Amino acid sequence: MATLLVASPFAQAQSSVVLYGRLDAGLQYINHVPTGSGGTANSWSAEGGDWGTSMLGFKGTEDLGGGLHAIFTLETGLQVQNGTTSGGLLFSRRAFAGLKSDEWGTLQAGRNLFIDSDGVWEFDPMVQQAFSSASLVRGRNWQQTSNNVEYHSPVFGGFDVQGQYALGNQPGAFNNGAVGQFGRSDGIMLTYHSTLFDVRGIYDELRDSNGQFANIFTSSREFFAGANVHFDSVKIQGAYTHYSAPDTPAGLADSANYYWLGATYTFNPTWAVTAAGFYVIVGDGGGDALHDPSGHASMYTLSTTYNFTKRTFLYGTIAYVDNSRQADFSLLANPREGTGSTSPLQGESQTGAYVGIMHQF
């Protein structure tokens, strides 16, 4: 990391700005990808971000005295295969400023990962890779929201609390958001960490631009409970999530339950292997181009990493999705239909794999 220290002749406080990031590039294979003419085909592609989003960021802090610090973060997602930023935004992932107190916690405002994205990855055996906990919920748990106000408490006896509130910023429509953006959204997260295990609970509300909970996997209420258990070289991770979307059009499915369980075995400081299983069941109701119908799917993953150094590692993952008769979940977290969708035909399975390299700086 590169650090710039700035000294002011007018105060004794010290400031620092840190440049950080990571770059991820590799190759990917998926079968049964729609062709647009009613059929499916194999897909071979050069991909960036399969293990984790490539990014570039800046973090800054200024010591204000008495245990109080001014902070800021600017962070954007990158696609190394074509050099673009994600979402067409200058800082797509994080852009916030705030105050951090050793005694009272952190208060910040701006754009950030939505609270479940910030909280779920730590309990996902696949750490939200391309084939991960986000896959069978079409990316519901890795979104970003703008206009956030967030609070992070200090740690008390192993417990800490995080709260987030994102305004829609639309006059005369308090719950709504700008076109293409989320409406008013919020959440709270309680975590306990210890040397033997970690547990976390999250409740959140993610509204669409019309201010509604109209789709279980894009705008809904979420209840999440996750746990990690540590045994020397083995870490076991499991979670349960319930989604509900009470504003879903009549006749369409408006709830889902999601489960996963996985384990990571670290053979030595350079090599680790992870195996995991994920299962989603969508409640009663029909579907359309945007809404998944009643059905269920299972996904099984096997992944490995090999570390050359603390900053650079190779990775490889294989996975398989087994869909029920009406389900068409993909290995990738993308929409059910339309541009960019890799959903197979209803009832069809899907197999995929990717390999790549990750460098962090």
pLDDT in tens, 118-149: 999 999 999 999 999 999 999 999 999 999 99
- Which pLDDT belongs to residue 17? 97
Whether the pLDDT of residue 341 is over 60: the answer is: yes
**Residue pLDDT, tens place only, 223-271:** 999 999 999 999 999 999 999 999 999 999 999 999 999 999 999 999 9
Residue 85 domain-assigned (yes or no): no
- Which pLDDT belongs to residue 340? 86
- Bin 343: left if φ > 0, else alpha if -120 < ψ < 50, else beta: beta
Q: In percent, how much of the chain has pLDDT > 70?
A: 96
pLDDT bracket for residue 13 (50, 70, 90): low
Whether the pLDDT of residue 1 is over 70: the answer is: no
Q: Are 329 and 30 in contact (CB under 8 A)?
A: no
SS3 content of the chain, % helix, strand, coil (to 5): 5, 55, 40
Query: By CB neighbour count within 10 A (0-12 exposed, 13-18 middle, 19+ buried), where does 277 fall?
Result: middle
> Which residues form the domain of 300?
24-58+114-360
Work out the average pLDDT over 18-37. Answer: 96
- Which pLDDT belongs to residue 203? 98
b/e map 316-350, b = 16+ CB within 10 Å: bbbbbbbbbebbbbbbbbbbbeeeebbbbeeeeeb
Whether the pLDDT of residue 6 is over 60: the answer is: no
Whether the pLDDT of residue 345 is over 50: the answer is: yes
- Which pLDDT belongs to residue 5? 42
Owner of token pair 């770059």: 23
Residue 96 domain-assigned (yes or no): no
Q: What is the H or E stretch that residue 259 is in?
A: strand 255-268
pTM (predicted TM-score): 0.94
Task: Specify the number of domains making up the chain.
Answer: 1
Cα–Cα distance between 114 and 94 in angstroms, integer? 10
Query: By CB neighbour count within 10 A (0-12 exposed, 13-18 middle, 19+ buried), where does 249 fall?
Result: middle
Residue 308 domain-assigned (yes or no): yes
Query: By CB neighbour count within 10 A (0-12 exposed, 13-18 middle, 19+ buried), where does 269 fall?
Result: exposed
Residue 224 domain-assigned (yes or no): yes
Residue 164 domain-assigned (yes or no): yes
**Residue pLDDT, tens place only, 267-320:** 999 999 999 999 999 999 999 999 999 999 999 999 999 999 999 999 999 999
Contacts of 130 (CB under 8 A, 6+ apart): 28, 47, 49, 50, 51, 317, 331, 332, 333, 354
Please tell me whether residue 184 adopts helix, strand or coil conformation. Answer: coil
Let me know the angle formed at the C-alpha of 137 by 131 and 142, rounded to the nearest 5 degrees. 75
Residue 348 domain-assigned (yes or no): yes
Q: What is the H or E stretch that residue 120 is in?
A: helix 115-120
User: Could you tell me the two tokens for 150?
Assistant: 């967030």
pLDDT bracket for residue 11 (50, 70, 90): very low
pLDDT bracket for residue 62 (50, 70, 90): very high
Instruction: Count CB neighbours of 1 within 10 A.
Output: 10
Whether the pLDDT of residue 162 is over 60: the answer is: yes
Residue 261 domain-assigned (yes or no): yes
Residue 13 domain-assigned (yes or no): no
Cα–Cα distance between 82 and 18 in angstroms, integer? 25
Work out the average pLDDT over 44-56. Answer: 97
What mean pLDDT value characterizes the chain? 95
Strand 234-244, strand 40-47: pairing: unpaired
- Which pLDDT belongs to residue 14? 85
What CATH number corresponds to the domain at position 309?
2.40.160.10
b/e map 145-178, b = 16+ CB within 10 Å: bbbbbbbbeeeeeeebebebbbbbebeeeebbbe
User: Could you tell me the two tokens for 326?
Assistant: 């009406």
Q: Are 348 and 328 in contact (CB under 8 A)?
A: yes
